[in-house]
């Protein structure tokens, strides 16, 4: 199955199949314990909980952004504790439009794990459909996860500087996945500097979805990203490397082959005082 997005009904039909791991990735940046509390109240039966800060990010340092990409070995250890192995079929969900579920999806791609999916619409849609929920925490049998990292999916600061300076001549395009007012530098509530990386274009990650939180169809996504050349390298970034992941998911859904993530994103870029900052439209 090439489509990285599955429906709640698809998951309902398979939720007790051997080898399936359901990962609850609910999270709130303003209250890091809210997602875990929501999971403890109720979740999809059998789901394990993965925390953005503790499981899906490395510790914050001077550089690397607010949610650094974790070391492959440490990430593999977290996945193994959750009962995930390289042979697992992983379906992630959250209740924030796929924001955190797609972070797990991307990290699994980075580790060479192709059997990873995001459940469309999220947990509220699952409950609204009358599908089963529970407060029972499953007994998790630890697994051995053997990562096969794909460093080509990750862009580093030196490459971003070159692409920003060279523009189209670099052969790559930078996509800023944040809301347009943050991209333009008019409203910044998360980071110390406002604006965007010079040369980047803006595709807000939420514009890949309908008002009800469901992902747009392939036809709609092709229209949304019609200004991009599928043969060019695309590097997505956001504030900290999280909300760029739904864009990476959507681009993969419509056949973009050369999509990379700038893991540290804007919060890493501005940690280097010498890096230029652009404001306004591209």
Given strand 172-176, what is the order of strands in its sheet? Answer: 154-155, 259-262, 233-237, 172-176, 201-202
Given strand 20-24, what is the order of strands in its sheet? Answer: 5-6, 116-119, 89-93, 20-24, 48-49
**Beta strands 172-176 and 116-119: pairing type?**
unpaired
Element (H, E) at 260: strand 259-262
What residues contact 146, with CB distance under 8 A and at least 6 apart?
A: 76, 85, 86
Catalytic residue, chosen from 56, 160, 238, 249, is: 238
**Residue 93 tokens, joined:** 């969900």
Active-site annotation holds for 25:
no
By the 8 A CB rule, do 42 and 72 touch? no
Encode burial over 233-269: b for 16+ CB neighbours within 10 A, e otherwise.
bbbbbbbbbbbbbbbbbbbbbbebebbbbbbbbbbbb
* Helix and strand totals (H; E) in the chain: 10, 10
Three-state SS at 182 = helix
Catalytic residues: 238
């Amino acid at each position: 199955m090439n489509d990285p997005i599955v429906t709640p009904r698809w998951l309902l039909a398979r939720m007790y199949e051997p080898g399936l791991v359901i990962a609850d990735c609910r999270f709130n940046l303003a209250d890091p314990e809210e997602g875990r509390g929501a999971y403890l109240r109720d979740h999809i039966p059998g789901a394990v909980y993965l925390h953005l800060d503790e499981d899906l990010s490395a510790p914050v340092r001077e550089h690397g952004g607010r949610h650094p990409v974790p070391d492959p070995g440490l990430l593999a250890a977290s996945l193994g504790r959750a009962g995930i192995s390289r042979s697992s079929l992983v379906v992630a969900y959250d209740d924030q439009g796929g924001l955190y579920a797609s972070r797990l999806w991307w990290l699994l791609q980075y580790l060479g794990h192709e059997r990873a999916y995001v459940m469309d619409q999220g947990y509220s849609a699952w409950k609204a459909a009358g599908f089963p929920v529970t407060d029972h925490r499953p007994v998790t049998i630890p697994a051995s996860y053997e990562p096969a990292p794909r460093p080509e999916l990750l862009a580093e600061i030196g490459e971003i500087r070159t692409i920003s300076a060279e523009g189209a001549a670099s052969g790559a395009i930078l996509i800023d996945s944040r809301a347009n007012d943050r991209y333009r530098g008019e409203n910044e509530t998360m980071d110390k500097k406002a604006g965007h990386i010079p040369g980047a274009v803006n595709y807000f990650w939420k514009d890949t979805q309908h008002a009800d939180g469901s992902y747009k169809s392939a036809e709609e996504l092709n229209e949304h990203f019609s200004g991009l050349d599928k043969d060019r390298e695309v590097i997505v970034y956001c504030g900290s490397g999280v909300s760029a992941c739904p864009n990476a998911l959507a681009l993969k859904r419509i056949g973009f082959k050369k999509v990379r993530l700038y893991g540290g994103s804007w919060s890493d870029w501005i940690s280097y005082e010498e890096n230029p900052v652009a404001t306004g439209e591209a």
